[in-house]
Amino acid sequence: MPRPMTDRSPLAPAAFPALPAIAGVTLRVAKARYKNWDRCDLTYVELDAGTAVAGVTTQSKCPSPEVEWCRDAIPMGQARAVVVNAGNANAFTGHRGRAAVEAIAAKVANHLSCQPSNIFVSSTGVIGVPLPIDKAEAGLEAAFTAAPCGWEDAANTIGTTDTYAKGAHVSAMIGDTRVDLVGIIKGSGMIAPDMATMLGYIFTDAAIDPALLQQMLSAANKRTFSCITVDSDTSTSDTVLAFATGKAGNAPLASMEDAGADAFAAALSDLCRQLAHLVVRDGEGASKFIEITVEGAESDASAHRIALSIANSPLVKTAIAGEDANWGRVVMAVGKAGEPAERDKLAIRFGATQVAAGGLALDGYDEAPVAAHLKGQDIVIGVDIGLGEGRATVWTCDLTHGYISINADYRS
């Protein structure tokens, strides 16, 4: 069964951050009761007319109907609402799953007097169980009349096995106008960077063309959400959506050549990185946050694949969980990646301590500082392939008995 929110990850932030309201965004939550739990599990976000949208979705070949719906709607560039269902992924549910998405979109569109294509739908939870249309519609009726809520309530409501609500905020200057960006995200397991394995929602009051917002989000995703992994498993339901209400009053951004576009893009990337890290820090059973940087590869893409090979290795992850300075497991993971590498040019460090180079351990290598580093919660592993200029950084967590317990009991 999903972990209760009270069993917080040891890597969780001390508290949910104070996030500003975004003009043109109204949050509401309700109980659809998709599972046998007494908690809100339907999030309804209403967006003012004229809101631009962009998004990225899972690369899974077995996507949910919600993902397919969003893929069709994103290119139209306009949004009026997003509905997030927690407790039921509605994936691998055939025509019944598609009918549920259509019914949700139609009901919200009728409520807002807009086109169904302006409504975005996401679901997360158990795969293979059709989303009950009657519960979804009843939940929406309750949400339509619910009092507006804050970001933390919305962030809690989209969670499943998450142990804490996840949110972040950044701002940027576009000319003389300050714009705000707020994001909430859920994710804890089934996390692998095949886009991103999560549901994430970003809201800004900036005025920006949908095509430019899409360009910026895709670029930010490549450097952030697509650089995290908990367990190497890619979800059927991954979706990250960005909504821009245009209420800040800035001169609208239409091109990267426009003044302030660089600042906004940097802020968006920063927000995505913060959200991505929050997901890894809530990895199922996690006790260590691990940053892996690979440099000296033949290309950035090669460095990325080598870094993921290290990050996804159960042997590396369990060694970190056990605070064991077993750098030989890193060598193994580099060698199995299928990317260009030469044993006698390889160098490895843990934290600030170089442990191996030139195909063997360094002369006089002292394991004590490495052991001390591994006792901390934030672990850094560096690898130099020694072949070129390629570089990449990915983020992961360790693998503990907790991961097994959570997932063995998930459907019970």
Catalytic residues: 197
Sign of CA dihedral 318, 322, 325, 326: negative
400 in a labelled binding site: no
Helix, strand, coil % over all residues of the chain, rounded to 5:
35, 25, 40
Q: In a 3-state reduction of DSSP, which class is residue 45?
A: strand
412 in a labelled binding site: yes
Print burial letters for 331-363: b (CB count within 10 Å at least 16), e (below 16).
bbbbeebebebeeeebbbbbbebbbbbeeeeee
For residue 296, the one-letter residue type is G
Using N-to-C axis directions, what is the helix angle for 328-336 and 314-321, rounded to 10°?
Answer: 160
State how far the alpha carbon of 162 is from the alpha carbons of 8, 124, 305, in Å: 8, 12, 27
160 in a labelled binding site: yes
State how far the alpha carbon of 241 is from the alpha carbons of 3, 105, 217, 221, in Å: 26, 16, 9, 11
326 in a labelled binding site: no
Residue 193 CA to residue 261 CA, distance in Å, equals: 27
353 in a labelled binding site: no
88 in a labelled binding site: no
For residue 158, the one-letter residue type is I
Residue 23 CA to residue 248 CA, distance in Å, equals: 8
CB 111 within 8 Å of CB 85 = no
Provide the annotated binding site: 160, 186, 197, 284, 407, 412
Annotated binding residues for substrate, written as ranges, equal: 160, 186, 197, 284, 407, 412
